[in-house]
Amino acid sequence: MPVVRLSPTFCSYKSLSRRFYQREKEIKMKVLHVPCVEDNYAYLIIDEDSREAVAVDPVEPEKILKVAEENGADLKMVLTTHHHWDHAGGNNKIKQLVPGIKVFGGSLDNVEGCTDKLENGDKFSLGKDVNILSLHTPCHTKGHISYYVTSKAGEDPTVFTGDTLFVAGCGKFFEGTAEQMYQSLCVTLGSLPKPTRVYCGHEYTEKNLRFALTVEPENEKIKQKLSWAQNQRQKNLPTIPSTIEEEWETNPFMRVDLPELQARVGCNSPVEALRELRKLKDNWRG
Ligand code: GBP
Ligand code: ZN
């Protein structure tokens, strides 16, 4: 009877491919963009193991449900960033379409259809491996929540920032102060790990970067990102996600700690500079 021996090379190839396979398996969550209304994004987060999913700001429920179905995902909950209709306006309808679905929203915002009110620091999970942390990021609205989502032990860090942090911008101060926006942007969101992927509520990147260049005309990172963003939009592709690191490099509203930036807008404190930048942007017709 011939003895079949595995050559050492074959063995090591096998163990290598096993390691590769395990690495593949570690990719636990997928984020899909769902463009809605004019320039909003809803998102679908899918836990790959259980096929359970959550929707962020599903203003047009049919669109989200179609994407969930196409991906064989079972929608379990809704994460609402804030009470504005273009984010929360689909909640009652999605509750009718998906009986038993949980709808999360900030305790200080009157979110349509909310079943579970959130405070800063509340934690919950999706499937076995996706963890969700509620971060209270007020100012655009009083009860605005950003959702920090990780798979397993802190992998794939991702944050859904609604209308608080936009790529290269921030939301209007409808229900809060510059002090609060400074805390929300530069402290709460700014403390997340630099590789954290940033998914925001609107496609405003191009316009925001053009405004950013009026504040920092010499910033090469802004110039590069603007030409990349224009290219993406020409192809009708999203400019999202960004990362917390890229936002520190290009977002004027997060760069208010820099004395050069403060001087540029005639201020000498970060909060004052943030207030002034918001005023400038509100009146900018670029
Ligand atoms: C523009 O300049 O491109 N389309 C305009 C801006 C978020 S949506 C539109 C605008 O004001 N957008 C809001 C914002 O914060 N923009 C930041 C910026 O321009 O720098 N919204 O839809 C807005 O929050 C809303 C809904 C507002 C209900 C109030 C109520 Br109530
Ligand atoms: Zn809003």
- In tens, the pLDDT along 74-128 reads 999 999 999 999 999 999 999 999 999 999 999 999 999 999 999 999 999 999 8
Domain 13-283 grouped into CATH 3.60.15.10 = yes
pLDDT score for 193? 98
pLDDT score for 154? 76
pLDDT score for 26? 61
- Report the distance separating Cα 132 and Cα 147, nearest Å: 6
- What lies within 8 Å, CB to CB, of 54 at 6+ separation is 44, 45, 75, 76, 77, 78, 79, 126, 132
**Tens digits of per-residue pLDDT, 61-70?**
999 999 999 9
pLDDT of residue 7 exceeding 70: no
CB 58 within 8 A of CB 90: yes
Question: pLDDT grade, residue 47 (50/70/90)?
Answer: very high
pLDDT of residue 129 exceeding 50: yes
pLDDT of residue 221 exceeding 90: yes
Whether 39 is catalytic: no
What is the amino acid identity at position 229?
A
**Tens digits of per-residue pLDDT, 187-196?**
999 999 999 9
pLDDT score for 28? 84
pLDDT score for 44? 98
pLDDT score for 45? 98
Question: pLDDT grade, residue 285 (50/70/90)?
Answer: very high
Q: Which ligand is nearest to the CA of 171?
A: 1
- What lies within 8 Å, CB to CB, of 164 at 6+ separation is 81, 137, 139, 140, 144, 146, 170, 171, 181, 184, 185, 189
Q: Which atom of ligand 1 is nearest to the CA of 281?
A: 20
Q: What is the mean pLDDT of the chain?
A: 93
Residue with tokens 């209709």: 85
Residue with tokens 């909950």: 77
- Report the distance separating Cα 17 and Cα 25, nearest Å: 12
Q: By alpha-carbon position, which residue is closest to atom 29 of ligand 1?
A: 84
- Report the distance separating Cα 98 and Cα 64, nearest Å: 12
Q: What is the 170 CA–ligand 1 centroid distance (Å)?
A: 10
Percent of the chain with pLDDT over 70: 91
In this structure, the residues whose C-beta lies within 6 A of any atom of ligand 1 are 84-86, 163, 169, 171-172, 174, 202, 207, 281
- Report the distance separating Cα 93 and Cα 85, nearest Å: 13
Q: Which atom of ligand 1 is nearest to the CA of 140?
A: 15
**End-to-end Cα, the chain, rounded Å:** 82
Q: What is the mean pLDDT of residues 250-275?
A: 98
Q: Which ligand is nearest to the CA of 174?
A: 1
Catalytic residue among 83, 109, 129, 140: 140
Domain-wise residue ranges, the chain: 13-283
